[in-house]
Structure 1
Amino acid sequence: MGAGSRDVRAVRAVRDADVPGARELLHAAFRTDPVSRWIFPGEEHCETWHPLLFSAFLEGARRYGTAEMTADGTAVALWFDTRNEPPGLEETGELLGGVDPANPRVHGIGETTGGIHPHEPHAYLQALAVRPGLQSRGIGGALLRLTLDRCDKEELPAYLEASSARSRAFYERHGFALRGAPLRLPDGGPPMWPMWREPGAGGATGV
């Protein structure tokens, strides 16, 4: 790891007692993200509904995928292994049903990204969050590497949609490459970058 980075080998599954802290961390890390602000325009709108959206994402990962966090609670990652049965429309609708019901963008984001989601078996990273103020210290990169190392051992590709130019550059440093053209969200929404990583693609460590 680089200077100033943390050792995140002490990682555990998000437990019931961890849920409030993990939810708050996800909200804090993504509340200024371009896609989050497109879904929930306006400060009050965002502060009201954005935590519930990431609460649904967290619950989905705990039920159907993997929700892992560092022992000190500074970072959390939500993954899905598509070799297992992924959540379908019914399960997704159940999780998102109480999130800003009058806002079509809540469900629209899933429908838009779902239309380009790869069909090959892969590990899907839905969210990687590091507490604001502790970003750019290698914590997120080190947590990411733990799963990417497992992917390499199992010869499993990884996939994600980067929601900002900054996150796109971060994932490129970890061996991800663009997969097709950027996805532009409707109604003047921001771009998203589909990114794919072949097993053994390498990449930086702890950045």
Structure 2
Amino acid sequence: MTPSAAVRVRLAVPADIDALVPACVAAFADEVVLCWVLPDPAERATRTAPMFQALMHAAVRDDQITVAELPDGTLAGVSMWVRPTATPTPPDPAAPSAAAPPPDAPVTRRLATVTETVTARHPREPHLYLASMGVRPDQRGHGVGGAMLVHRLREADADGLPTYLEASTERSRRLYLRHGFHDHGQPLALPDGGPVLRPMWRPTSAPHHPDTTA
């Protein structure tokens, strides 16, 4: 049985945090934007775990994290979905926090560049925003990403919401096209040889096809 048939897609809960962090580290280790922000593999390996630890605590409490779970409990994929009108939950003083790099550090500047670049192009119309989605390398090509998309797009349609995202690779762009997205405006090129992000939009109730191999 392939993961696409066996995978269970659900909202992450606080009890998932310990499993979410290594799942995110594995799923996003080669993600092109993260690789641009942290180009040194050793630094990336060191910094991503505490970064995800801090991020997951807040995002899970805000019901922003959807996971794809295999029958043995392994988290095969992680995705983060944001409603721009939502008010973020205040930080939990008891939650771990990632050590912030100096304000003038290259990673700080690049993180700020990514945030400013994508925020400037966000549609003003109310929508569901797919901020990130990753699948563990050993589970790719079996429909795990497609399963998470189908799950949340059905919810978006039920709520009457269109969906917006930035595809960071041509492979992911093809996946989103198969699920009813279309290119939305000019691509966003990050500086210094960074990746090109392609804004994409899916109107509510657009047809999509769950038989993907992503």
TM-score, L = length of structure 1: 0.84
From 175, 182, 189, the equivalent of 1:184 is 189
The share of aligned pairs that are identical, in percent, is 35
Query: Aligned partners of 1:202 and 1:56: how far apart in 2?
Result: 36
Is 1:131–2:136 an aligned residue pair? Answer: yes
Match of 2:158 in 1: 153
Structure 2: distance between partners of 1:118 and 1:56? 27
Q: Does 1:98 align with 2:138?
A: no
Partner of 1:115: 120
Structure-1 residue corresponding to 2:43: 45
Larger displacement relative to structure 2 (96-105 or 66-75): 96-105
CA gap 1:108/1:184 in 2 versus in 1, 3 angstroms: same
CA offset digits 1:24-46 (Å, max 9, x no partner):
21221121122111100111121
Q: How far apart in 2 are the matches of 1:86 and 1:16?
A: 16
Question: What SS class does the counterpart of residue 202 from structure 1 fall into?
Answer: coil
| Correspondent of 1:80 among 68, 79, 82 | 82
Instruction: State which of 59, 68, 86 in structure 2 corresponds to 1:70.
Output: 68
Ranges in structure 2 where 5+ consecutive residues have no aligned partner: none
Q: Is the 8 A contact 1:139 1:206 kept in 2?
A: no
Number of aligned residue pairs: 200
Output one character per residue of 1:90-129: Cα deviation in whole Å (capped at 9) or x when no partner: 97xxx98734443211222112211111111000111222
Q: 1:54 to 1:191 in 2, by over 3 A?
A: farther
Is the 1:156–1:198 Cα contact (8 Å) retained in structure 2? Answer: yes
> For residues 41-81 of structure 1, what are the alpha-carbon distances to aligned partners after superposition, in whole Å with 9 as ceiling and x for unaligned?
11112112233343344334224342122343212221112
What's the Cα RMSD here?
2.5
Structure 1 residue 86, shift from structure 2 partner: 5.4
Q: Does 1:22 align with 2:20?
A: yes
Contact 2:187 2:199 in 1 (8 A): yes
Show the counterpart of 1:175. Answer: 180
**Structure 1 counterpart of 2:148:** 143
Q: Match of 2:65, as an amino acid?
A: A
